[in-house]
Amino acid sequence: MLTSFFGKSKPVNYLILGAFIIVGYLLGAVSGSSIVITPILLLDHGFFMALSILSMLLLDFIIRKNHLTKNNTFVILFFTCFLVMLPVIFLQHKILLANAFLLLALRRIMSIRSDKNSSKKILDASIWITVASFFYFWSLLFFIPLFIAVIQKPNTNYKQILIPFTGFMAVLIINTAYQLLANDSLFWFSNWQEAISFDFSKYNSASVLVPITVILAFYIWAGVYRILKISIIPLKERPNYLLLLYLSITALFVALAGPEKTGAEILFVLAPIAIITTNYIENFDTERYVEKDVSEFWFKEIMLWMVVILPFVFLFL
């Protein structure tokens, strides 16, 4: 049963999910491309295939390091299945890169509250967010949850609030120097900012619209439940609990603000949705159901099977 299999953290789980991403990438990116395959193109695809797997492993590291879920692999299962549901993501390499850098920033943002090396964490997060913006400009919106994390941490001082500006300017100065040396130009800013597009015509395709609808349904369902539970969350745990909600909302706005709506921009919300959905499932262990309640077991089992089967169903859309 999937509940018991992915309810534990075992090496075979990572191997299966890594293989699932590879299959999804091959079906989505390679088979969906009409370009003649060359050795350079194979290396390119190999790099982004590896990056997709590393993003999944980085997400797993983040949740374990910050104790965002219990000791299971449900988060990376949801993340992987959601990712493969939308193979168009694998065609957008800039979005894959931006998301990887944002995950590195998320790793720092979620651990700021520990108040250990917090200044370094704030600087690191601001640098990764700024780097991500070179591939997807509206990644800069992630400075909002970064500032929220800084403000709500214990022992915050005004110097720490200024650190994100330092990281932002440092990356801009380095990139400006590079552009001056490489292209003899200081006007790279004009091509940096991307206009917001509200053209959702590509969402008319069933292969894009149906998976996005399913993913957002999970988000709304688990997100509303998360909001309703805020009042009973212990005060000590509430800041990170709310921070994850802020991050998910920010990620949604990052996706909506993109210059082109292909469906690939949904990648930015997959990590927060995977964590929130996992928390939703885990809550059944301690609330309305007893430990071995049959209805609880089958609810989880059906949900997990649905998430695993849907990527294969969507391949035929």
Residues 54-104 pLDDT 10s: 999 999 999 999 889 888 999 999 999 999 999 899 989 999 999 999 999
Alpha helices in the chain (DSSP H): 2-6, 11-25, 39-65, 74-85, 93-109, 118-133, 143-152, 158-183, 206-228, 238-256, 267-282, 294-314
pLDDT at 118 over 70: yes
Instruction: Identify which has the larger pLDDT, 293 or 309.
Output: 309
42 falls within a domain: no
Whether 82 is covered by a domain: the verdict is no
Digit-coded pLDDT (tens) for 1-49 = 788 888 888 889 999 999 999 999 988 776 655 556 678 888 888 999 9
Q: What is the pLDDT of residue 286?
A: 46
Assigned domain for 115 exists: yes
pLDDT score recorded for residue 7: 83
| Radius of gyration over every alpha carbon of the chain, rounded to an integer in angstroms | 20
Asked if 153 and 115 touch (Cβ cutoff 8 Å), the reply is: yes
CA distance 274 to 277: 5
Residue 157 placed within a domain: yes
Which residue has better confidence, 281 or 96? 96
Domain extent, residue 284, equals: 93-314
pLDDT digit string, tens, across residues 165-211: 999 999 999 988 888 888 777 777 778 888 888 888 889 888 899 99
Between residues 28 and 273, which one has the greater pLDDT?
273
pLDDT score at 290: 45
Ranges 22-36, 268-282, 283-297, most confident: 268-282
4 lies in a domain? Answer: no
Q: pLDDT at position 317, please?
A: 66
Model-level pTM? 0.92
Question: Which pLDDT does position 315 carry in this prediction?
Answer: 74
6 found inside a domain: no
pLDDT at 37: 67
DSSP collapsed to 3 states, 160-196: HHHHHHHHHHHHHHHHHHHHHHHHCCCCHHHHCCCCC
d(CA 135, CA 93): 9
State pLDDT tens for residues 120-141.
Answer: 999 999 999 999 999 999 999 9
Q: What is the mean pLDDT of the chain?
A: 87
pLDDT at 287 exceeding the cut of 90 = no
Cβ(21)–Cβ(52) under 8 Å?
yes
pLDDT for the residue numbered 148:
94
Which pLDDT value is given to residue 300?
Answer: 78
207: in domain: yes
- Mean pLDDT along residues 254-266: 92
pLDDT for 284 equals 59
Hey, what are 7's tokens?
Answer: 């309810």
Examine residue 250 and state whether it is found in any structural domain, yes or no.
yes
Domain count along the chain:
1
What is the rounded distance in angstroms from the CA atom of residue 149 to the CA atom of residue 64? 19
